[in-house]
Amino acid sequence: MGQERDIEPCLRQSLMFGELSTAQLAQLAAIAELQVWQRQHIIFRKGDLAPGFFVVKTGRVKVFNLSTAGKEQILHICEAGDSFAEVTAFDHQPYPAFAQALDDVELVFFPRSAFLGLLHREPALAVHLLAGFAKRLRHLVSLVETLSFKQVPQRLAAYLLQLVPRDRSDTVTLNLTKTELAALLGTIPATLSRAFYELSLQGIISVNGAEITICDRQQLQRISEE
């Protein structure tokens, strides 16, 4: 019972489960398992059998793929409340990507068989979850669009605007290495450094180590939309 009380607040802040009632969250927490993974540990590899999916309770998880040449493309950096590998709960296929703990992490794991059993018993729960899946699909469509049609400075501008919403401070501290951020934006560290330099040279941002300050939000917005 104590574990379920620990899990419910995590599910409440999740995009996938945040709209559910207290009773529905309790049902989900009852079938979930808490897992702890150490920093840099590979949680699963592409092609591994998929017994279920995850929600991040604490820490960060990197979901990524590798090209045949070994180049990494980060699909998502999952933080507290984010879910990943959800598709495997429904298509009975292996994991389609890799997942690695960037920090020491706590994960809420949902076994596929128990999760599907709950949905069969509670169809109203399944309907509510469709909204969460729609949000994840929109994110992936946006990622494909960004990588296909935008140059690196545009991708970087859009990423920085995501980190610093209009109603918050204009300064943020990056919590990814340059290599990780480059992989997330679909480029290489050297090209990413040039993009930072170009935006700094134009006076749009100010860079102090990992601390980034947006000096001209309007111009950064314009670049992100080009």
Q: Residue 20: left (phi > 0), alpha (psi -120 to 50), or beta?
A: beta
CA 133, 136, 140: angle at the middle one, nearest 5? 135
pLDDT digits (tens, 9 = 90+) for 72-101: 888 889 999 889 998 888 888 999 999 999
Question: Which residue did the predictor score with more confidence, 69 or 108?
Answer: 108
Which pLDDT belongs to residue 3? 60
Among residues 216, 103, 224, 210, which one has the least CA distance to residue 154?
224
Dump pLDDT digits (tens) for 136-148.
777 677 767 766 6
pTM of the model: 0.76
CA distance 97 to 74: 10
